[in-house]
Amino acid sequence: MVYLDAAATTPVRREALEAMWPHLTGRFGNPSSVHALGHDAAAVLDDARRAVARVLGARPAEVSFTSGGTEGDNAAVKGLALARREATGATRVVVSAVEHDAVLASAHWLGRFGFEVVVLGVDGDGRVDPGEVAAILDGGDVAVVSLQLANNEVGTVQPVAQVAALTRAAGVPLHTDAVQAAGWLPLDVAALGADALTLSGHKVGAPPGTGALWVRRGVRLEPLVHGGGQERGRRSGTENVPGAVGFGVALGLAEAERVTATGDGVDPVSRDRDAFVAAVLSGVGPLLPGDRGVRLTGHPTLRLPGHASFVLGGVSGEAVLLELEERGVLSSSGSACHAGSDEPSHVLTAMGIDRETAQTALRFTWSRTTSASDLTSAAHALVDAVSTLLP
């Protein structure tokens, strides 16, 4: 089997499981308890927080553990907007058209309570224009801007640092969803310039239901979950100590692998990606001539290293996926959050792709353990699959 759906989820790393096990058994204390088991749990939780902070170049106190990317996005977009409205009266929420649904739904939820939602358009590669952001900021009254670091469906990397320079000058907080970027792109928050950043554990080899939200010191965030005041009041509820431990270990390993692989240059996985893209275009292209051609979606170079996505004019993406699975290749048609939906991808339609063509989308995403020969086999399987489905 060749697994090419890493953007949906990844297997839990053995190192993460081994680090978690003691805290699922003998060392099971509640970090809020005052006895020895509780003190031990609190110390372990602090260690996990420091591990995440090291990857981000942040202060441990700025890191809160969450149940994953969806919660982190909700907490950031809603929490920053509510806090800023209370402080300044600002009511405009700015998001890009290609954000994850967790961000878009959070913004539109705010719209029910007096906020104005401003949606940034994107070009044909899925990138926003910082100039459009600047124009919106010049209009004033912006409570928060949310711009993902990398897109989950087409892999396009956004100009977050450029936008951050604009929001900082305007005094507006910027949130970035970095869920897909972890392990592939640098996450140094000083370089990115954002004020809040979301991460998810199961994209880097931690268990599902784990993640973190970083919020820059001094930036106000209205909490959405109230109760015992855990996580410095940002997220009440007894902390998931084993999950935090596993997430800290997995994120640290993913970052170490990225640094080792890239050094000061380009990630070598990008070369395998480019070879895979070329093989798909040259192999499938002749089968779908003219308007029924195959094309890469997303930016050709400013994209995640382990990510390739296509549309196949005239061939059902779902049918191709089934044929691929018969040939031992597991991939997807886009976001796992839309599995089973008949609606075309909002990401692709925002990029100017018509609804019918958007229904032919395929997404191939992989990890650092995926070999070049795995990708070659997948490209051949895709050619066979498309050939089988043609009349």
Q: For residue 40, count other CB atoms closer than 10 A to its CB.
A: 19
Q: What is the dihedral of CA 371, 377, 378, 382, to 10 degrees?
A: 160
Strand partners, 309: 363
Token pair of 151 as six digits? 């897109």
Render the burial of 114-128: b for 16+ CB within 10 Å, e for the rest.
ebeebbbebeebbbb
Q: Is 337 a catalytic residue?
A: yes
Report phi then psi at 173, rounded to 5.
-70, 145
Report the C-alpha gap between 45 and 176 in whole angstroms: 24
The residue among 206, 239, 203, 179 whose CA lies nearest residue 16 is 206
Q: What tokens appear for 372 in the block?
A: 């070049």
Say whether 290 sits in a helix, a strand or coil: helix
Angstrom distance (rounded) from CA 293 to CA 357 = 10
Active-site residue (options: 322, 337, 339, 372): 337
Give residue for tokens 């008949």: 342
Q: What is the token pair recorded at 299? A: 């930016």
The whole-angstrom separation of Cα 207 and Cα 186 is 22
d(CA 103, CA 177): 8
SS3 175: strand
Decide: helix, strand or coil at residue 265. coil
327: left (phi over 0), alpha (psi -120 to 50) or beta: alpha
Active site (catalytic) residues = 337
